[in-house]
Structure 1
Amino acid sequence: MPRQISMVKSRLVSKIGQVQLKLKDFRYYDLASYAINGLTSRKGYYFHKNIAYGLKARQRLDLFRSKSPHQKRPLIVFVYGGAWSHGDKKAYKFVGEAFAKEGFDVAVINYHLAPEHIFPSYVDDLTLAINFLSQQKQKLEISSDNIVLMGHSAGAFNLMSALYHPSPYEKTDLDNIKAVVGIAGPYHFDYKGDPLAQDAFDQSVPFQQVMPYYFVKSNQIRHYLLTAENDKIVRDSNSIDMQNMLKQHGNHCEIRTIPKTGHVTIMGSISSLFSPFFSTKSQILQCLDETFN
């Protein structure tokens, strides 16, 4: 009997450990994302899951191909947030659906996460994904002539850094990146001691050597920076500073503030379920219409 009790206790401890590991990687907004995805329509697009854009396990993307007959549909590459330490593409099916039904192809990428991986590994993943999509466009039945980089929070930082930071990877389709949509992004802040960001960066490296704000170059890309009216996590100064620096270099940049949203809810408001009640999706579509028409 004591041996049986010991075995039961051992199994129970093992189960509790598994649950704790899952909870450690869980955020309250995951539940909302999965609930939204469960109600997201599967019509209007073709879904291709877990496409490898690199050799490592996290280098995977989901592709939502619109059923629009247009031969050269713009391609949105979406990068989710999560303080560089959390997130998975499977939670953002609603983003793919929201824009695929509007005639865009959408790639939602996974990338390496902190603390095991720090800057610039997750930025290099994005560059690798962009290059892959360009090189495999015929096989994937997409076009890379008109690329839109879209990201939320840490994901917005990643895409800005892919454009405005030295990289060992050549960007094969930089000229084809027509627009950037940064949603509640941190582009100019000191990560030293920041509880949300410190594990994602080398603390011995000054933020002035990392932030995309300090590496802006002149180009023809249209930059749209969306801020949430009630954002309590990322300060508006990030977008204001980035806009000022972009304009100093002669680049296009607009800031658009989305009413009635916070740092997390600004993303959920893109969903087709909620977009009738918020201006987030319509504002993004206006930006893209300005870019391509």
Structure 2
Amino acid sequence: MSRPYRLLALGLPLLLLALAACSPLTALNALSPAGATDSVEGLAYGEGARRKLDVYRPRDQRGPAPVVVFFYGGNWVGGERGDYAFVGRALAARGIVTIVADYRLHPEVSYPDFLRDAAQAVAWAHREAARYGGDPRRLYVMGHSAGAYNAAMVALDERWLQEQGMATADLRGWIGLAGPYDFLPIENPTTKPVFHFPDTPPDSQPVRHVAAGTPPALLIAAHKDKLVEPERNTGQLAKLLRARQVPVRELYYGSVTHTTLVASIAAPLRWLAPTLDDVAAFVLKPGA
């Protein structure tokens, strides 16, 4: 039996028991110990309960570490930063200061307010990361699903960081996991009011903002994604970036779905895909 399947056989009963007792994300957090990492939780980057973030950092780092700001998915209507502690711990254990940020959701807000929140969180990281061992000169933005959309728009559309006194050039790169980058006309009934359908602005789409000189990208998707079509979104965006000479790495995994792609970052599910390895390699590559 191969090593991944031995690990699966050993860990699956425990994982199934945890999933039965609580939500899947809570289980992943419970089965993803902090290890040699520390966290500071509930820091405000703006006003209100949804403008807060948690910082995860390596315990014994040597010198300033790269910084990743992570935004979770949830179709812009749900999600909590605490549910994604496993992402913060995993990246911090690889030597990356990681910030997991909340942002306001519909119906409290709609497009583009959550992008202003995302940019504000990134600006906080640029300003404050050094306090937590981070190097603001090596700043990345990352997200999954709706969070990948947020990351893409912050990295590609100058408007949002400019409002914070920054530029997309202040980012060393960005990472998108199963992101929706081209979804007009909107078909999902939950998403329609978020983007003012049928009057959705065309420039709400990340593919409209690809230009030479935008930050390098790592785009990862699942072949089996039934929610965000990988070729139209990840594939098309990668093609547009390459056409403008923007460095991009495009990866597709065969053993994950839209949801388990981000879950594969957690220790119990890393046998599914090398998501953590590929993200860490992108952020920690020599010269980055």
User: Is TM (by shorter chain) over 0.5?
Assistant: yes
Q: Does residue 211 in structure 1 map to residue 205 in structure 2?
A: yes
C-alpha distance in 2 between matches for 1:273 and 1:279: 13
Flag structure 1 segments of 5+ consecutive residues without an equivalent.
1-27
Paired residues, what number?
A: 265
Q: Does residue 248 in structure 1 map to residue 257 in structure 2?
A: no
Task: Map 1:1-293 onto structure 2 (within 5 A).
Answer: 31-165=23-157, 166-167=159-160, 169-172=163-166, 174-219=168-213, 221-236=215-230, 237-290=232-285, 292=287
Going from structure 1 to structure 2, the CA distance change for 1:171 and 1:184 (only over 3 Å counts) comes to: farther
Shift of 1:291: 6.2
Q: For the Cα contact (< 8 Å) 1:190–1:207, is it kept in 2?
A: no
C-alpha distance in 2 between matches for 1:215 and 1:186: 14
- Report the counterpart of residue 4 of structure 1 in structure 2: none
Q: For the Cα contact (< 8 Å) 1:76–1:105, is it kept in 2?
A: yes
C-alpha distance in 2 between matches for 1:193 and 1:176: 34
* TM-score, with length taken from structure 1: 0.84
Shift of 1:170: 3.5
State which drifts further: 188-197 or 93-102: 188-197
Q: For the Cα contact (< 8 Å) 1:228–1:266, is it kept in 2?
A: yes
Shift of 1:292: 4.2
Q: For the Cα contact (< 8 Å) 1:191–1:198, is it kept in 2?
A: no
Q: For the Cα contact (< 8 Å) 1:59–1:110, is it kept in 2?
A: yes
Secondary structure of 1:84 counterpart: coil
Amino acid at match of 1:63: V
Secondary structure of 1:128 counterpart: helix
State which drifts further: 260-269 or 30-39: 30-39
Shift of 1:207: 4.7
Shift of 1:86: 0.5
Shift of 1:148: 1.6
State the Cα deviation string for residues 29-61 of structure 1 (Å, max 9, x = none): x81110111122122111101000001220000
Shift of 1:197: 1.4
Q: What is the root-mean-square deviation in Å for CA atoms of aligned residues?
A: 2.0
% identical equivalent positions:
24
State which drifts further: 115-124 or 188-197: 188-197
Amino acid at match of 1:175: A
Shift of 1:204: 4.3
Amino acid at match of 2:259: V
Shift of 1:169: 1.0
Shift of 1:103: 0.4
Q: For the Cα contact (< 8 Å) 1:112–1:125, is it kept in 2?
A: yes
Secondary structure of 1:145 counterpart: strand
Shift of 1:175: 2.9
Secondary structure of 1:98 counterpart: helix
Q: Which has the larger radius of gyration?
A: 1
Shift of 1:208: 2.1
State which drifts further: 240-249 or 96-105: 240-249
Q: For the Cα contact (< 8 Å) 2:91–2:97, is it kept in 1?
A: yes
Secondary structure of 1:244 counterpart: helix
Amino acid at match of 2:163: Y
Shift of 1:224: 1.0
Q: For the Cα contact (< 8 Å) 1:80–1:89, is it kept in 2?
A: yes
Going from structure 1 to structure 2, the CA distance change for 1:138 and 1:209 (only over 3 Å counts) comes to: closer
Secondary structure of 1:281 counterpart: helix
State which drifts further: 58-67 or 217-226: 217-226
Amino acid at match of 1:226: I
Going from structure 1 to structure 2, the CA distance change for 1:285 and 1:133 (only over 3 Å counts) comes to: closer
Going from structure 1 to structure 2, the CA distance change for 1:229 and 1:274 (only over 3 Å counts) comes to: same
Q: For the Cα contact (< 8 Å) 2:151–2:175, is it kept in 1?
A: no
Amino acid at match of 1:212: P
Going from structure 1 to structure 2, the CA distance change for 1:196 and 1:234 (only over 3 Å counts) comes to: farther
State the Cα deviation string for residues 156-198 of structure 1 (Å, max 9, x = none): 0011111223336145263331121100000011153422411
